[in-house]
Amino acid sequence: MIFMIETATFGAGCFWGVEASFQKIKGVTKTTVGYMGGNLKNPTYEDVCTDKTGHVEVTQVEFDNSKITYDELLDVFWDIHDPTQKNRQGVDIGTQYKSVIFYHNNDQKNKAERSKARQNQLKKFKKPVVTEITEAKEFYIAEEYHQDYLNKNKGVCFTF
């Protein structure tokens, strides 16, 4: 297999905890938190929190596909949040916290759809998975203080 850095983008609640979870994975070379999916150009955190922009808090994951596969990243995604909650994770409520996989190519789309179907077939969760699978749009990097937040602030984030 040829070494190649690929990009994956996930929304699974507050991006602080999502980023921290993916940072621990061998083969992940970089994580960046930001916003995707909405209609406002260059949104700020305050804009996204109004629940009117359509943007989701996301973590963009760059990974070395010779060390970890997209399917393995999907497995992490399902494990770090409750994909049966619509527009919320735990105490965080609003469309910016929805469960979503933004795919960057048809291969990722197909793998994400198969993975979601498998989650429902396995009945791992008591309710059906409501995770959206949608094409990646422009990624807007979140403010610097959000980047690597939990490591910089020695915090803990609980999504469910």
3-state secondary structure of 37: coil
Catalytic residue among 9, 11, 12, 14: 14
Pairing of strands 99-103, 132-135: parallel
Asked about 157 being catalytic, the answer comes back as: no
Distance CA 43, CA 49 (A): 10
Question: Which residue's entry shows tokens 């990722």?
Answer: 108
| 41, two tokens | 């150009």
Among 35, 58, 31, smallest CA distance to 48 is for: 35
Active site residues: 14
